């Protein structure tokens, strides 16, 4: 019932089209059901006129032809509207899934395979369209056909109509029994399909690493193992559903034979007192035709039962994304006058609730200061940046901006004051100019060029075939260093108040890094900058260096002070020189 309610949610704004579609289905089925009745009357007239030899069934033929034409027209309109309505629903559903993924917390994204999320956005929604929506249309059309059939059957012979109704549960019970067994198989199949998609995406993204380590055979064997598991699940699901149609058809044929036998008896042994005196060959012909058409909807519904089961499983996976709690963003305040002061106020944080990454971290960060975070891998350097940007929220304590917790500000407002360059670069499919202007969409071409010059990217950009209009992407032929320069140019263009550099120059040669240092100095002048660094030589001019280990500050001071202490920082620095 909950699934049905959720499906109706997507019909909001399309109620008129749905009603109109059902009206065309109603008229189409009526025309279809009227044909056997008219055919039976024509046959009976031929039988009754056998002795006289005078036969005129032209009226019946005209009416049958009219029903055929009108029924075809209404059926075409029904199919047209149903497909249009289905596409509207699918678009609305896909929009909601995409928005939900974009608004989900990073913890949700990080704990789900990206390939599986992609499968829900594309494949599962297609399953819903082809299964659930088509199944709903088949169900409505089938119900209407059953009702019309019963009406005509009662008009012709109430005894055979009741016999048909009494025998119907046999077909329904068999179909329902088999269909209920299919749900678990399709759920298992969808889950393994998501695993396979995620593994394939991961393998493609890390293809170079796999080849570098000679892991092609191992990766192929693992893929084959996952693929074989999916094959087994798909076989179970398809094998289970393959029983529905033959089983229901067997039951329906038995019912058809019983009705033919009963009808023959009623013709031979007429019972006028039961109102069956007019029941003849023509009426029996119509009854048997209706009996077959009465069972047909059950066969059709059972035949799409597999698609419906598959679609329901897909719909639940889609709903799992849409109904998942969105990223919390309850801030109402505005950052007036820029970011004057940052403070990390006794923050404690864990990604999984088990292993503490940041433990009672406390530090003041004043405007215009350059603060560097150093320490061994896994000590929490990047996590501090994630908490400041509110990609995650700490379990205890908070980041303060102008004396207020960052949760007091809308995330969009908070992040608009911060420019960030990560070690991992990202470019979208578009021109170089569009990629640089990603953080400032209204930037002029002159501003983009100026930012590129400051990032020392202008020279290699002009050597590209189309210059700033060259189309690039994350998979383009640019080197990792060139991609990082374009990301640096984005920050140069934004001119943010707070600059975050998370190993921003890790993929750039030393000569370019020296050239960039001047640009960084210009960019950071009068601004607060947070630098995460592994190469300790790059932070010699930092105002304050925080040395982290196991999520705690174990040393702090400027470069000279830390070297003079001859502690952990000096050990790290000396090890890099060695």
421 bridge partner residues: 501
Task: Give the start-end residues of each E strand in 391-497.
Answer: 396-401, 404-405, 418-421, 430-431, 471-472
Rounded distance, CA 402 to CA 335, Å? 8
| Helices 2-9 and 305-322, axial angle in degrees (round to 10) | 70
Q: Are residues 311 and 171 in the same domain?
A: yes
Whether residue 374 is found in the same domain as residue 272: no
pLDDT at position 73 is 94
Could you tell me if 255 and 402 lie in one domain?
no
Domain with residue 513: its CATH number is 3.40.50.300
Query: Would 220 be classed as within a structural domain?
Result: yes
Residues 253 and 396 placed together within one structural domain of the fold: no
Beta strands in 61-150 (DSSP E): none
Go through 162-195 and write b for each residue having 16 or more CB atoms within 10 A of its CB, e for each that does not. ebbeebbeebeebbeebbebbbebbbbbbebbbb
Closest CA to 487 of 505, 462, 511, 467: 505
Residue 24 lies in a domain: no
Q: Are 543 and 372 in contact (CB under 8 A)?
A: no
Q: What is the dihedral of CA 350, 355, 359, 361, to 10 degrees?
A: -40
- 71 in a domain, yes or no? no
Bridge pairing between strands 528-532 and 370-374 = parallel
Q: Are residues 306 and 401 in the same domain?
A: no
Report yes or no: 473 and 465 within 8 Å, Cβ to Cβ. no
Picking from 252, 287, 322, the residue at the C-terminal end of a domain is 322
Q: Which two tokens stand for residue 436?
A: 């640089």
Q: Is 162 in the same domain as 309?
A: yes
Q: What is the pLDDT of residue 278?
A: 59
Q: Do residues 517 and 554 both lie within one domain?
A: yes
Q: Based on the fold, state whether residues 308 and 436 are members of the same structural domain.
A: no
Residue-level pLDDT at 573: 78
Q: How many whole angstroms separate alpha carbon 552 and alpha carbon 383?
A: 12
- If one counts the domains in the chain, the total is 2
Q: Is residue 63, in this structure, part of any structural domain at all?
A: no
Predicted local confidence at residue 506, as pLDDT: 63
Token digits for 255? 């019912």
Q: What is the block-wise mean pLDDT of the chain (578 residues), using blocks of 10 residues?
A: 69 80 87 82 72 70 90 89 83 86 80 79 80 72 81 79 76 67 71 80 74 77 86 80 71 75 70 56 73 71 68 81 79 81 86 82 82 82 83 86 86 84 79 88 90 87 89 76 82 84 69 67 76 74 84 85 86 73
Same domain, residue pair 309 and 435: no
Identify the domain containing residue 465 by its residue range.
341-577
CA 306 remoteness from chain centre: 21
Q: Does 413 fall in a domain? A: yes
Assess whether 523 and 472 both reside in one domain.
yes
| Domain end residue (candidates: 291, 322, 353) | 322
Q: Can you give the three-state secondary structure of 278-311, one letter per residue? A: CCCHHHHHHHHHHHHHHHHHHHHHHHCHHHHHHH
Q: Are 527 and 385 members of one domain?
A: yes
> Residue 360 region, left (φ>0) first, then alpha (ψ -120 to 50), else beta?
left
Question: For residue 268, what is the domain's CATH number?
Answer: 1.20.1560.10
The pLDDT score that the predictor gives to residue 69 is 93
> Final residue of a domain: which of 262, 291, 322?
322
Is 79 a domain residue?
no
- Report the chain's C-alpha Rg in angstroms: 36
Residue at 318 is within a domain: yes
Residue 153: the pLDDT is 79
Same domain, 380 and 239: no
Q: Would 554 be classed as within a structural domain? A: yes
Question: For residues 276 and 266, is the Cβ–Cβ distance under 8 A?
Answer: yes
């Amino acid at each position: 019932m909950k699934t049905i309610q959720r499906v109706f949610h997507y019909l909001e704004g399309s109620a008129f089209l749905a009603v109109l579609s059902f009206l065309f289905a109603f008229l189409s089925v009526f025309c279809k059901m009227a044909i056997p009745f008219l055919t039976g009357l024509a046959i009976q007239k031929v039988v009754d006129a056998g002795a006289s030899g005078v036969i005129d069934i032209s009226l019946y033929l005209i009416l049958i032809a009219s029903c055929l034409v009108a029924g075809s027209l209404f059926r075409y309109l029904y199919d047209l509207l149903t497909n249009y309505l289905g596409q509207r629903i699918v678009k609305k559903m896909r929009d909601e899934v995409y928005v939900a993924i974009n608004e989900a917390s990073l913890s949700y994204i990080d704990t789900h395979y990206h390939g599986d999320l992609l499968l829900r956005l594309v494949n599962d929604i297609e399953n819903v369209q082809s299964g659930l929506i088509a199944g709903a249309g088949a169900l409505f059309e089938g119900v209407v056909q059953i009702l019309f059939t019963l009406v005509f059957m009662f008009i012709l012979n109430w005894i055979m109509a009741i016999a048909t109704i009494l025998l119907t549960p046999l077909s329904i019970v068999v179909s329902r029994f088999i269909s209920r067994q299919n749900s678990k198989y399709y759920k298992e199949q969808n889950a393994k399909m998501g695993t396979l998609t995620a593994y394939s995406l991961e393998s493609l993204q890390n293809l170079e690493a796999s080849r570098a380590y000679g892991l092609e055979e191992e990766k192929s064997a693992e893929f084959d193992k996952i693929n074989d598991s999916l094959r087994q699940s798909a076989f179970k699901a398809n094998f289970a559903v393959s029983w529905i149609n033959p089983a229901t058809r067997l039951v329906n044929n038995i019912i058809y034979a019983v009705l033919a036998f009963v009808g023959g008896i009623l013709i031979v042994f007429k019972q006028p007192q039961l109102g069956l005196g007019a029941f003849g060959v023509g009426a029996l012909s119509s009854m048997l035709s209706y009996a077959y058409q009465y069972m047909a909807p059950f066969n059709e519904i059972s035949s799409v039962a597999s698609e419906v089961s598959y679609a329901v499983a897909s719909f639940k996976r889609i709903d799992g994304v849409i109904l998942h709690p969105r990223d919390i963003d309850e801030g109402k305040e505005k950052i007036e006058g820029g970011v004057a002061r940052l403070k990390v106020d006794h923050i404690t944080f864990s990604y999984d609730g088990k292993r503490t990454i940041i433990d009672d971290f406390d530090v003041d960060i004043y405007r215009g200061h350059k603060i560097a975070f150093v320490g061994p891998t896994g000590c929490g350097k990047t996590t501090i940046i994630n908490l400041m940007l509110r990609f995650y929220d700490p379990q205890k304590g908070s980041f303060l901006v102008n004396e207020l917790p960052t949760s007091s500000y809308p995330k969009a407002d908070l992040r608009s004051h911060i420019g960030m360059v990560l070690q991992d670069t990202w470019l979208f499919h578009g021109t170089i100019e569009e990629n640089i202007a990603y953080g400032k969409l209204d930037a002029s071409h002159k501003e983009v060029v100026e930012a590129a010059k400051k990032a020392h990217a202008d020279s290699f950009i002009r050597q590209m075939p189309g210059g700033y209009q060259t189309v690039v992407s994350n998979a383009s032929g640019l080197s990792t260093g060139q991609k990082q320069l374009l990301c640096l140019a984005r920050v140069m263009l934004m001119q943010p108040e707070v600059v975050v550099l998370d190993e921003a120059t890790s993929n750039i040669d030393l000569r370019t890094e020296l050239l960039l240092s001047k640009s960084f100095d210009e960019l950071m002048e009068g601004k607060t900058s947070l630098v995460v660094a592994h190469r300790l030589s790059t932070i010699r001019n930092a105002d304050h260096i925080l040395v982290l280990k196991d999520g705690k500050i174990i040393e702090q001071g400027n470069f000279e002070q830390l070297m003079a202490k001859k502690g952990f920082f000096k050990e790290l620095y000396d090890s890099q020189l060695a």
